[in-house]
Homo-oligomer: A and B are copies of this chain.
Amino acid sequence: MSHIPTQRRNEISIGTLSGRTGLAVSAIRYYETQGLVAPERNAGGQRRFLRSDIRRLSFVMIAQKFGFTLDRIREVLGRLPEKRTPTAADWTDISHDFRVELDAQIAALTRLRDKLDGCIGCGCLSLDRCALYNPDDAAGEKGAGPRYLLGDEVVKSDG
């Protein structure tokens, strides 16, 4: 029992992971409950993450920027190889999937905007004939709770 280090080469603490990703410690714990990371525990019961979890959580953050839910992100992460540290190629693969969904979302939003243009022209903006009323575009119903398509703030290039 001399000096077995608590934090070995390839294992990092939650605080270190927080520092490297910019995520709050509480957020990382929450992500664990959501199945987005699965750290081991050391003898004292503290979480020990892999270095590759830095990249994993970074991916989560980026996907969130794109508006994907944690559920969807968990699904996509499930396509990474289990018993091997993911390679750059693995990450490229799943990023490509996101790219496809993202294109679809941009297209949907653009279609909706174009319909708005039509409605600005005709001034109807409300009743049954209005193209904006056909509910086949944009977010659909999915049980209780809120549904969003876009955030609440326009992006600013600079303050």
Please report A residues at the B interface, Cβ cutoff 8 Å.
54-55, 58-59, 62, 65-69, 71-72, 88-89, 91-92, 95-96, 98-99, 101-110, 112-113, 116-117, 119-120, 123-127, 130, 132-133, 136-140, 142, 147-158
Contacts and interface: CB of A to CB of B under 8 A. Distances in A.
Contacts of A137: 65, 155
B123 A91 contact: yes
Contact of A127 (B58, B112, B147): B58
B120 A92 contact: yes
Contact of A116 (B102, B125, B148): B102
Nearest to A111: B155
Contact of A119 (B95, B110, B133, B151): B95
B138 A116 contact: no
A50 to B, nearest CB: 13
A146 to B, nearest CB: 9
A132 B89 CA distance: 18
